[in-house]
Amino acid sequence: MANLCVLILCGLAFQVVHTTGQRQAELPTIDAELPLRLGDEKKAPRTWPNAKVPYKISSAVVDTDKIRLIDRVIRDIEDNTCIRFTNRRFEDEYMNIQTDRMACSAQVGVQTGINQLNLADSCWNYPTIAHMVLHVLGLYHENNRADRDDYVEINAENLRGLNARKFEKIPANQFPVLDTPYDLNSITHFPNKIYGIKQSGSRDWTIQAKRNPSQQLGGNRITANDYRKLKKLYRCQ
């Protein structure tokens, strides 16, 4: 089965709110049934052969500002890793970036056939696009690492039903952390109040840092540690 971020971890749509340059919160606008349980997948996500990612931007994406955002994410990854993105010509496996009415979703790692990256209107910003592209490249959410309990605390009482599943840990054999330190600022890290039942008041958070509970988690840029993971994953020299 495919490592579907939309089904396992990502939910569907995020509305990303920025405050003082920090990704303050991602509020789900829609959710879905989760037909797969974490643990069904026995292997780590598959990487793109030779670190080359054929991609296509849907013809429905005509806004030049949106295309520039995609180009900026791609350029930043290429400038900091050995990964290269190429315009899809005839490849059977490729990343297809398209608009979606409600969903912000991506598959984790390369899949057979078309690898869809869906972006709803609220998802057209640099942090969310970069977050999703890193999923396509093979990275799960940082906070799903097997060692995350050493660094963050989960407020289970502020989570309900299927949303709680998105906070489950992924076994180390399925989530290669590549000898990198836990990164509270990773662009793939959940922010503090994501998926919370309560969005204000006492204990309105769903995840917080153990050492400094007031620290805002996640970020609006790809961190040096994110790049380090990609370089190790793709064996960049």
Q: How confident is the model at residue 160, as a pLDDT?
A: 81
The number of residues in the chain equals: 237
First to last CA, the chain: 31
Burial degree of 109 (CB within 10 A; 0-12, 13-18, 19+): buried
Spatial separation of the C-alpha atoms in residues 220 and 226, rounded to whole Å? 12
Spatial separation of the C-alpha atoms in residues 161 and 228, rounded to whole Å? 34
Quote the crossing angle between the two packed helices 224-233 and 126-137, to the nearest 10°. Answer: 20
Q: How confident is the model at residue 7, as a pLDDT?
A: 35
The arrangement of secondary structure in 5-233, i.e. its CATH architecture, is 3-Layer(aba) Sandwich (3.40)
Residue pair 176/44 in contact (Cβ under 8 Å)? The answer is yes
Q: How confident is the model at residue 132, as a pLDDT?
A: 94
Which has the closest alpha carbon to 194: 36, 35, 13? 13
Binding residues for Zn(2+) are 131, 135, 141
Task: Copy the structure tokens of residue 186.
Answer: 């990773």
Query: H-helix or E-strand containing 153?
Result: strand 152-154
Instruction: Render each residue's pLDDT in the chain as its tens digit; 237 residues.
Output: 444 454 334 433 332 222 223 343 343 333 222 233 344 445 688 999 999 999 999 999 989 999 999 999 999 999 999 999 999 999 999 999 999 877 788 989 999 999 999 999 889 999 999 999 999 999 999 999 999 999 999 999 888 877 888 899 998 888 877 789 999 999 999 999 998 887 667 678 999 999 999 999 999 999 999 999 999 999 998
Task: Copy the structure tokens of residue 13.
Answer: 């749509």
Q: How confident is the model at residue 219, as a pLDDT?
A: 92
Residue pair 120/149 in contact (Cβ under 8 Å)? The answer is no
Which has the closest alpha carbon to 104: 14, 191, 27, 5? 14
Q: What residue ranges do the domains of the chain occupy?
A: 5-233
Q: How confident is the model at residue 5, as a pLDDT?
A: 52
Task: Copy the structure tokens of residue 220.
Answer: 């609006």
Binding residues are 131, 135, 141
SS3 67: helix
pTM of the model: 0.82
Looking up tokens 């495919």 gives 2
Contacts of 203 (CB under 8 A, 6+ apart): 155, 157, 158
